[in-house]
Structures are given as structure tokens and as C-alpha cells.
């Protein structure tokens, strides 16, 4: 395998509110490779989006990166630690859009209603390449065509509210790729779309990934999307990674009770009719009332009383590239569920 293009090492991003500190991202590490897709999965509020924003250094106040490294291999070959760069400096701005592109969940509100899509697209093109207006416009039309938008030369002067949801998301993808980045972060890219459009957008993303050898971080709560798209998976819970590994290992030999619960809650066409869909009991704790020990223990079906509620579990290597943070695999006498 090629060298990783992005390495995140023990990232901590905290929000300092008056009521206390929210540890939105609390020790996340992963490697991202060109041409491969890393899925980050978890319930809402588990720190997936903050991880993405930390990588781009667009975490909003009162949040900030407390510790950790974000090592990015830039187009020039130099490796920089994005976490150490000044927040609105020229280097970070060149990385945003130029090395790393971002696609957002809500294509309606993520585009300005006051500017034509051409205006926003040409701006993005010219920000990362020295082109005159005419050339930049041609380039923008190419990008729209590449994103599968019919009649791109007409659509470039349209406003976002004149397009359908699927087309808007295609515009978002064209915008994210305007600076020729080699990393694409897609934060819930299909959540706001209907199922048919969802499939089309995922197909488009895969095609673009192959064409450009893109490294993709796909953030979603949808295990179905992960199964279809991801090569590697990180499962997050309350800012911590609880399990990570290749997609086959995660789906066929899940270790962490949280991963198992997530997988059980996928509806299946093979399920016995009229049977209840398994759900994960309880809800995510309030960020200020974080449980001690393993953060998942209050909802865990297999918890070891006296251990899980007192000690934070360390990460245990299970197999090749497969690791989980769970006491069930560290204690000798623990009964490991099959």
C-alpha cells in the first residue's frame, strides 16, 4: 500500500463552554490512503463532524484542538502538521480546498442563495489556480459536467434554489473538487437526499475517487452506506474511537458491543417478517454528564460491573489493522462473546 496522505494522531478537540468542557473529540487516530475510503460512523453527537472540521481547522469557537497531530502530505510532498498551523494563515487556507475538499450534508443551506453557483465555483477555482475569468469559467463548466450535471453551460448561471436536491449536492461536489484536492471529506453527503438520489451521488463519488485517486473520509451514521463505500472503518462513541478496522472485519467480526448494537439495528430484507427491529437502548449521555470509565458502559449489554464503570479501557489489537477499546478483550477471565 502507498504511504498515507493523512495521518491523524491522538486528536483531542474540546469545547470550552461556561458550563464546562465538552470533549467532542477525545483521542482519535487513523491513517488515510490515496484511492481508499475511510468511513467514520457513530450516532449524532459522537464527534464525527468535529473530527472533520478539526482536520480543516474550521472548528468554531469556543472549540479548539487541544492536542494531537494532523499530518498531511501536501501536493509538494512535504508533510505538515495541520494542527500546528495558525488558524487563518495562508498555508491553512491553501490546504482548505486545495489539498482537502469538504462536502456537506445540507446542499441547500451550504450554498449561498445570493450568488449564482458559477460565482461561487469560479471563485473557488481562481483561489487555487492562476486563471483568468474566461478560463476559470470554462474550468467551472468542466467541473459541473464532471459532477454529472446536465447542460452545465446553462446551469452555471443558475441560483442554488433553482436546482433539485440531487443537483445541488452535485454542485457541492464540484465546488469541493474545484481546487483539485487529493483528500475529500464528505460529511453525511447523502443524508438529506432520497434513496434513489443517494445511490446516484454515491456512484458519482466512487467514480471520481477512481478517476482522481482521491482519499475519501466518509462521515455517516448509516451502516448501509459504510458497507457500500468504505474500505476502512472507525466507529466513534462520545468522541472516542471504540473500534476500527477493515470493513470486512467490522461487519463480519465486530468486537465492540457498540459496533454490534449498531449492526443489529440495520433493517434487513432477510429478517423474519413482523419481528421487531433491534434498537440500541438509551441515548447518548449529556455532554456535561459524561459517565466515568468506559463511556459506553451505561448502555452496554455486556458490561463488567466494577471494571467498565471505573476504568477507561485501552485499545486492544484484535487482528491485522483491527483494534477495539473494550475491557472484554483485556481481562483474562472475561467471558468473550462469540
Partner 1 sequence: MLAYLIRRLALAAVTTWAITVVTFIILQLPPGDFVDAYVAQASALGTAISAAEATALRHAYGLDQSLWVQYFKWLNLVVHGQFGQSFEYGRPVTEVIGDRLWLTILLSIGAIIVTWGLALPIGIYSAVRQYSWGDTIFTFLGFVGLAVPNFLLALIVMYVGLRLLNMNVGGLFSADYQLAAWSWAKLWDLCKHLPVPILILALAGTAQLVRIMRANLLDELRRPYVVTARARGLSERRVILKYPVRAALNPFASTIGYLLPYTVSGSVIISVVLSLPTVGPLLLHSLLSQDMLLGSTIILMLGVLTVLGTLLSDLLLMWIDPRIRLGQLR
Residue 96 within binding range of partner 1, rule CB under 8 A:
yes
- Within 10 angstroms of residue 288's Cβ, the number of other Cβ atoms is 10
108 neighbors 165 (Cβ within 8 angstroms): yes
List the beta bridge partners of residue 15: 22, 63
Q: Binding string to partner 1 for residues 120 to 139, with x set by CB under 8 A, is what?
A: x--xx--xx-----------
Q: In the complex, what is the shortest distance from the CB of residue 103 to partner 1, in angstroms, rounded to a whole number? A: 9
Does position 70 interact with partner 1 (CB under 8 A)? The reply is: no
Residue in the structure block whose three cell numbers are 449521555 = 285
What are the DSSP calls for 204-256, one per residue?
HHHHHHHHHT-EEEEEES-HHHHHHH-SEEEEEETTEEEEEEEHHHHHHS--S
Site for partner 1 in 161-180 (CB under 8 A): 161-162, 172, 175-176, 178-179
Distance CA 296, CA 152 (A): 48
3-state helix, strand, coil in the chain (%, to 5): 35, 25, 45
97 belongs to the binding site for partner 1 (CB under 8 A): yes
d(CA 318, CA 255): 8
* Span of 38-46, 109-117, 296-304, 324-332 interacting with partner 1 by CB under 8 A: 109-117
Among the listed residues 19, 88, 320, 333, the single contact to partner 1 using CB under 8 A: 88
Q: Tell me the closest approach of the beta carbon of residue 127 to partner 1, in angstroms.
A: 5
Does residue 159 bind partner 1 (CB under 8 A)? yes
What DSSP element (H or E) covers 7?
strand 6-17
Q: Does the footprint of partner 1 cover residue 75 (CB under 8 A)?
A: no
Which residues contact residue 305 at a Cβ distance below 8 angstroms, ignoring those fewer than 6 apart? none
Does 58 engage in binding with partner 1 (CB under 8 A)?
A: yes
Asked whether position 227 contacts partner 1 by CB under 8 A, the answer is no
Q: Measured between alpha carbons, how far is 52 from 187 in angstroms, rounded to an integer? A: 8
Residue 74 in the binding site for partner 1 (CB under 8 A):
no
Shorter beta-carbon distance to partner 1: residue 179 or 295: 179
* Contact flag: residue 80 with partner 1 (CB under 8 A): no
With contacts defined by CB under 8 A, name the span among 66-74, 78-86, 105-113, 329-337 that binds partner 1: 105-113
Q: Grid coordinates standing for 239? A: 468522541
Residues that bind partner 1 (CB under 8 A): 53, 56, 58, 88, 93-98, 101-102, 104-106, 109-116, 120, 123-124, 127-128, 159, 161-162, 172, 175-176, 178-179
Amino acid at each position: 500500500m502507498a504511504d498515507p496522505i493523512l495521518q491523524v494522531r491522538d486528536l483531542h478537540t474540546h469545547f470550552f463552554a461556561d458550563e464546562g468542557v465538552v470533549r467532542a473529540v477525545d483521542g482519535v487516530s487513523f491513517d488515510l490512503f490515496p484511492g481508499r475510503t475511510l468511513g467514520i460512523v457513530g450516532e449524532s453527537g459522537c464527534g464525527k463532524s468535529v473530527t472533520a472540521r478539526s482536520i480543516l481547522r474550521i472548528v468554531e469557537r469556543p472549540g479548539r484542538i487541544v492536542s494531537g497531530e494532523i499530518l498531511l502530505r501536501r501536493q509538494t510532498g512535504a508533510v505538515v502538521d495541520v494542527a500546528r498551523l495558525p488558524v487563518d494563515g495562508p498555508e491553512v487556507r491553501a490546504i482548505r480546498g486545495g489539498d482537502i475538499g469538504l462536502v456537506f450534508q445540507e446542499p441547500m443551506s451550504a450554498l449561498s442563495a445570493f450568488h449564482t453557483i458559477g460565482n461561487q465555483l469560479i471563485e473557488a477555482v481562481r483561489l487555487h489556480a492562476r486563471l483568468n475569468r474566461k478560463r476559470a469559467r470554462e474550468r467551472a463548466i468542466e467541473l459541473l459536467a464532471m459532477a454529472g450535471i446536465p447542460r452545465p453551460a446553462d446551469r452555471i448561471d443558475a441560483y442554488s434554489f433553482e436546482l433539485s436536491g440531487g443537483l445541488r449536492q452535485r454542485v457541492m461536489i464540484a465546488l469541493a473538487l474545484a481546487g483539485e484536492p487529493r483528500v475529500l471529506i464528505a460529511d453525511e453527503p447523502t443524508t438529506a437526499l432520497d434513496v434513489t438520489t443517494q445511490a446516484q451521488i454515491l456512484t458519482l463519488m466512487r467514480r471520481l475517487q477512481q478517476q482522481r485517486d482521491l482519499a475519501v473520509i466518509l462521515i455517516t451514521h448509516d451502516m448501509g452506506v459504510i458497507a457500500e463505500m468504505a474500505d476502512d472503518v472507525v466507529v466513534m462513541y462520545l468522541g472516542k474511537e471504540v473500534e476500527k478496522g477493515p470493513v470486512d472485519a467490522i461487519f463480519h467480526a465486530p468486537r465492540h458491543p457498540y459496533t454490534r448494537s449498531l449492526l443489529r439495528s440495520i433493517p434487513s430484507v432477510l429478517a423474519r417478517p413482523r419481528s421487531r427491529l433491534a434498537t440500541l437502548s438509551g441515548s447518548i449521555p449529556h455532554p456535561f454528564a459524561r459517565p466515568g470509565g468506559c463511556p459506553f458502559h451505561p448502555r452496554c449489554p455486556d458490561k463488567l460491573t466494577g471494571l467498565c464503570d471505573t476504568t477507561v479501557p485501552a485499545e486492544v489489537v484484535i487482528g491485522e489493522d483491527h483494534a477495539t477499546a473494550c475491557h472484554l478483550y483485556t481481562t483474562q477471565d472475561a467471558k468473550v462473546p462469540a
